[in-house]
Structure 1
Amino acid sequence: MSAHNTQVALEAPPAQPQMATTRDRIAGFAAGVASGATKLFVGHPFDTVKIRCQVEGGHGRFKGPIDCLINTVKQEGPRALYKGASIPLVGWAVMDAVQLGSLSNYRLLLQGNDKSHKLGHFEHGLAGLGAGWTVALVATPVEIIKMRLQTQYATGSERKYRGPIDVARYLTRQYGPLGIWHGLAATMSQRSFFFFLWGSYDVYSEWLRSCRVISSFPYMAKAGSSKALEGRPVSEKLVNFLAGGLAANTFWCLCYPVDVVKNRFMTQGDENPIPFRKMFRHVYLTEGLSGFFRGFVPTFIRAFPTNASAIFVWESTVRLIKNGGRE
């Protein structure tokens, strides 16, 4: 065999692009159910305090988040912190299935036919934007029903709504067959900030993977050894947890004023309502800039543990499904 032919024989065949499988496409949806259930268990009490502070504003019945928490428990009992939880019990599982499943598929779409292609930060942000707009279709009914129950303070026969179905019936009578989607544009505006949630998640993940954990104190290392100082890479599970929490805090810092306006719009009285685009001006004129940050503290505190846990569960479940039951 000639030298030329020998060289050809030794050359490796070109790498074939890894195509996305059906398992890859459904993994995100299935893992989203687990994520949504985690989010409800960890975060709903914080969410109730946040919604009540946002809707009541600076001239309402609460002086702040702590006062809201104490008075809610005192006046209505600890179970009041889970008011409206029956809707997100199912709704958040469905919402996270739709959000995270569509996120996975938008990522695959941006990768094209090659699953091994690494997306950039901006592409991850675009996938997040698409997922945000997609999940808004599911989130709007869940959130408007949940919030109207959370902001109902009357008890017994004085209640306006007896439960989730009663809220849905009222909205349908008030706004027509699509009444439970009242506020869809507002929800899509708020969910547009998922660009920053998932874009920053990729940034934080990349940074955390580059970090090293010091495994022991330098003086414990053997003489002449640098292993203690070199450390070891951060585990992927810890990366998922920390990046998820940091990305959630980034998201809420950026989108919170829009979230306040959205929630005010969706829970206001149905006689002479203020349009969403004019609600920004209304909040500013009645409460000033501070009005856009009512309830921010419980939201910020809630964001890290709730979303860190949810994203950790999602990423872990996706890996489990894709690897056929093996982590």
Structure 2
Amino acid sequence: MQCSPPGTYRGAIDVLTKIVRNEGFRALYKGATPPAVGWAAIDSVLLGSLHNYRLFLVRQGMTEPTPGSGIQRLTLFGHGIAGLMAGCTSAFIATPVELLKVKLQLQSQRSVAERRFKGPVHCATQIIRVQGIQGLYSGFTGSLAFRVNFFWMFLSFEALMRGFTSLSGTRFEISTGSANFLSGGLAAFSYWIMAIPADNLKNRMMAYPYPSPYPYPSENTTVSRLSLYRTARDIFRRDGYSGFFRGLGPCLLRAFPVNASAFFVYEGVMRLLDAEKTRH
């Protein structure tokens, strides 16, 4: 929806029906390999650095007393800053992975033999041959702009967790695991609402030169990389402000189950390992 030429699709349902009709059900899983492999590393860096940034900010005094106990804890703003820095750190791994995913998903040929890229390894090889290793970082500034919005996710998650904690001792009290699940899912809504403009920028930068075919390597082959400013200008000229929010519906549909499950597992593992805590 974000990268295809204007008029290609009328909405998410139209995308679904056209992909299945023209390419088959399996086409819904195009580009699955890069995130299936790469997101393990991306999320490890994201959440591992998040934890360490939280501890760093605690040591720097960005704390407040916990109501009832007086124990110092990281402030809500500190949780947001830790999320922002973790998002920027993970962008160095996320950019090549998401670039390959975008390139593979935009190929609409039904037969694999007709596609420019046969798979993620072949795609990476062709990009490097044409643009060099730096070609794998096309859209890096867009990726940074997108991932700084983890500020909102982790700030919202902590705020929601504190809200659920305040229900302790009342008939609305829920378990810590349930609070993690609900907080993670709800925090994802604030994340995507804030991040979707940058997501459009990032994906369109990575899709370039689509819909023109990606050139075959030759001595005269050159592929420029779009700047963040030029991409934003082109979106506004073509679609106005609404163009920056294209694809928000599908992102919100997946946001709750994906992130609720992720936070439930992450927070559960942290408790299981008895890791040093920034939340009391």
Call closer, same or farther: CA 1:231–1:119 in 2, change over 3 Å.
Answer: same
> Residue 251 of structure 2 aligns with which residue?
299
- Residue equivalent to 2:143: 187
**Contact persistence 2:79–2:154 (CA under 8 A):** yes
Alignment of structure 1 residues 190-229 onto 2, 5 Å: 190-211=146-167
Task: Please give the TM-score of this superposition, normalised by the length of structure 2.
Answer: 0.85
CA–CA separation in structure 1 for the residues paired with 2:112 and 2:7: 22
Residues 1:67 and 1:212: Cα distance change in structure 2 (over 3 Å): farther
Counterpart position of 1:125:
80
Counterpart pick for 1:319 among 271, 274, 280: 271
Alpha-carbon shift at residue 140 of structure 1 (Å): 0.2
Which residue of structure 2 lines up, in the alignment, with residue 78 of structure 1? 25
2:94 aligned residue: 139
Task: Measure how far apart 1:239 and its partner are.
Answer: 0.9
Contact 2:138 2:205 in 1 (8 A): no
Q: Secondary structure at the match of 2:107?
A: coil
Count of paired positions? 254
Change in Cα spacing, 1:298 to 1:192, as seen in structure 2 (3 Å) is same
Q: Which of 104, 115, 130 is equivalent to 1:149?
A: 104
**Residue by residue, what CA displacement relative to the aligned partner does 1:18-70 show, whole Å, maximum 9, x if unpaired?**
xxxxxxxxxxxxxxxxxxxxxxxxxxxxxxxxxxx11115x242111011112
Partner SS for 1:56:
coil
2:42–2:90 contact (8 Å) kept in structure 1: yes
Report the alpha carbon displacement of residue 174 of structure 1 after superposing the two structures with TM.
2.5
User: Which one has the bigger helix percentage?
Assistant: 1
User: Paired residue for 2:202, among 234, 250, 262?
Assistant: 262
Contact 1:73–1:80 (8 Å) recurs in 2: yes
Q: 8 Å contact 1:175–1:182 — kept in the other structure?
A: no
Q: Hey, which bits of structure 1, 4+ residues long, moved more than 6 A?
A: 113-116
Structure 2 partner of 1:285: 237
**TM-score w.r.t. length of structure 1:** 0.73
Structure 2: which amino acid aligns with 1:184?
Answer: F
Q: Of 246, 253, 271, which aligns to 2:193? A: 253
Distance 2:21 2:95 in 1: 31
Q: In 2, are the aligned partners of 1:55 and 1:267 still within 8 Å (CA)?
A: yes
The alignment yields a C-alpha RMSD, in angstroms, of 2.0
Larger mean Cα displacement after TM superposition, 90-99 or 116-125? 116-125
Q: Is the 8 A contact 1:99 1:131 kept in 2?
A: yes
Larger Rg: 1
Q: Shift of the alpha carbon at 1:266?
A: 0.9
| Correspondence for 1:56 | 4
Residue 99 of structure 2 contacts residue 207 of structure 2 at CA under 8 Å; is this kept in 1? Answer: yes
